[in-house]
Homo-oligomer: A and B are copies of this chain.
Amino acid sequence: MAKQISMAVIRRLPKYHRYLKDLLEREIYRISSKELSEIIGFTASQIRQDLNNFGGFGQQGYGYNVEELYSEISKILGLHNTYNTIIVGAGNLGQAIANYSGFQKSGFEIKALFEANPRFIGLKIRDLEILDVEVMEEYIKENNIKIAVICTPKESAQDIANKLVKAGISGIWNFAPVDLQLDGNVVVENVHLTESLFTLSYLLNEKEEATR
């Protein structure tokens, strides 16, 4: 049986992935956990512990093979797969995500955008058509869509999410400022931008009070 990995470890994996990719781009193919620790900012013991969750990869006296570790972490993150993806809500944020080529390169293939506002329906973002949200469920079923990105206003997010789940989506990347209440077997990852900005303003104020 697979061991339960903590969310804290899981959230560090993409960071390992990013740093290992940078190393490969700089043609560094071998690295000690101490050196890795210096660039990534986790302790060497933290790194060994994290990676031991997945069987460990380092060799005593050799360190890590960067290519191998990168490829293993990619696989752990599911990046050896491709995911048919749609974006719901074709406002500024939805368009920005559709335009960002990095997601495509990592296997998240954006197939279409959906929108309720008739002004947008029929327009194109890159080569992607903006479709009527009314046909979304049918589209998901017919095109084997795995992931939906919710970029709608908060008022419609829950309703959209219900429809997505009913149509058989596996994962939701939610940018709407609501906590979705969902039954069933769907994975939700939230990006709450306003909460992030408010954290920044908290820290700013705390700092100013400390120096007063």
Contact of A96 among B83, B93, B106 (CB under 8 A): B93
**Chain B, Cβ-Cβ closest to A208:** B170
The copy count of this chain in the complex is 2
Q: Are B95 and A202 in contact (CB under 8 A)?
A: no
Interface of A is mostly: helix
Asked if A173 is at the interface (CB within 8 A of a chain B CB), the reply is yes
Interchain CB contact under 8 A, A100 and B106: no
A residues 166-212 near B (Cβ < 8 Å) are: 170-171, 173, 177, 179, 185, 187, 189, 191-211
24 A-B pairs with CB atoms under 8 Å apart are: A2-B206, A10-B199, A11-B195, A17-B198, A18-B194, A79-B201, A83-B201, A83-B204, A92-B96, A93-B96, A103-B194, A106-B197, A106-B198, A108-B197, A147-B200, A170-B204, A170-B207, A171-B201, A171-B204, A173-B200, A187-B200, A187-B207, A189-B200, A191-B196
Contacting pair A203 B189 (CB below 8 A): yes
Alpha-carbon gap, A210 to B5, bound state (A): 13
The CA of A14 and the CA of B91, in the complex, are separated in Å by 24
Query: Which 3 A-B residue pairings sit nearest by Cβ, starting from the closest?
Result: A78-B205, A14-B195, A92-B96
A99 interfacial by beta-carbon distance below 8 Å: yes
Q: Which B residues are CB-close (under 8 A) to A179?
A: 41
Chain A 1-17: CB-based contact to B (< 8 A → 1; otherwise 0): 01001000011011101
A79 touches which of B107, B198, B211 (Cβ 8 Å): B198
- Closest residue of B by beta carbon distance from A193: B191
**How far, in whole Å, are A203 and B193 apart by their CA atoms in the complex?**
21
Contact yes or no, B198 A13, CB < 8 A: yes
Complex: A201 Cα to B200 Cα, angstroms: 27
A55: interface (CB < 8 Å): no
A139 to B194, CA, bound (A): 25
Q: Is the CB of B194 within 8 A of A14?
A: yes
Q: Contact: B108 with A100, CB < 8 Å? A: no
